[in-house]
Each structure stands twice: as C-alpha cells, then as structure tokens.
C-alpha cells in the first residue's frame, strides 16, 4: 500500500453536522476501498487564498491515508460528484 494525503474544502454554508457527515463520508470511501485512514486533521473555517465560485472561505480538512494505487482515482471521482466540495487535491507522499 502507498501513502497519500488529500486536502479538501467544504462550502462555508454547511452546518456543523453536515461538515462532520461529509468528513465521515470520505473516511468511509477510503476504508471501504481497502485503505486505512492514518490521520484526520480538521482545520476549521478559513479564508481562501482567492475567491472560488463567489465564495471566500471554507472548512478545510486534511487526510493522511494508505491505500492501493486504484483508490485515489475513486476518491477523486467521489469528490467531484459531492455537493459542497469547493476544491480538493490528492497527492502521493514521498518517502
């Protein structure tokens, strides 16, 4: 298994419960895909570096996880179709 990290930004209009549910959803995608979540770091609501779709802030979350090489593409697909995700990125950690 390879090590990856992903950071994603959730729309600021989401309530606290919806933010937690969204984080759990992505945690579930990783675990159901055969991966393991090593660390979840919720940064809270922060200002974006630049405006995206007329939004200036969002809820940032960082995941460190281990998975097979096929899982990041599935996770990317789920990020793209999930309402409320403003931006996301998945990168492989270097050794």
Domain range annotation of the chain: 1-90
Classify burial at 21, counting beta carbons within 10 Å of its beta carbon; exposed 0-12, middle 13-18, buried 19 or more.
exposed
CB burial of 49-80 (b: ≥16 within 10 Å; e: otherwise) equals: eeeeeeeeebbbbebebbbeeebbebbeebbe
Its CATH architecture, for the domain 1-90, is 2-Layer Sandwich (3.30)
pLDDT tens sequence for the chain (95 residues):
899 999 999 999 999 999 999 999 999 999 999 999 999 999 999 999 999 989 999 999 999 999 999 999 999 999 999 999 999 999 998 86
């Amino acid at each position: 298994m390879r090590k990856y990290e992903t950071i994603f930004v959730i729309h600021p209009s989401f309530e606290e419960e919806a933010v937690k549910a969204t984080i759990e959803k992505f945690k579930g995608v990783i675990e159901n895909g055969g991966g393991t979540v090593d660390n979840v770091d919720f940064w809270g609501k922060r200002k974006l570096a630049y405006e995206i779709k007329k939004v200036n802030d969002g809820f940032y979350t960082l995941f460190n996880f281990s998975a097979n090489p096929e899982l990041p593409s599935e996770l990317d697909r789920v990020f793209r179709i999930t309402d409320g995700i403003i931006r996301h990125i998945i990168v492989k950690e270097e050794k």
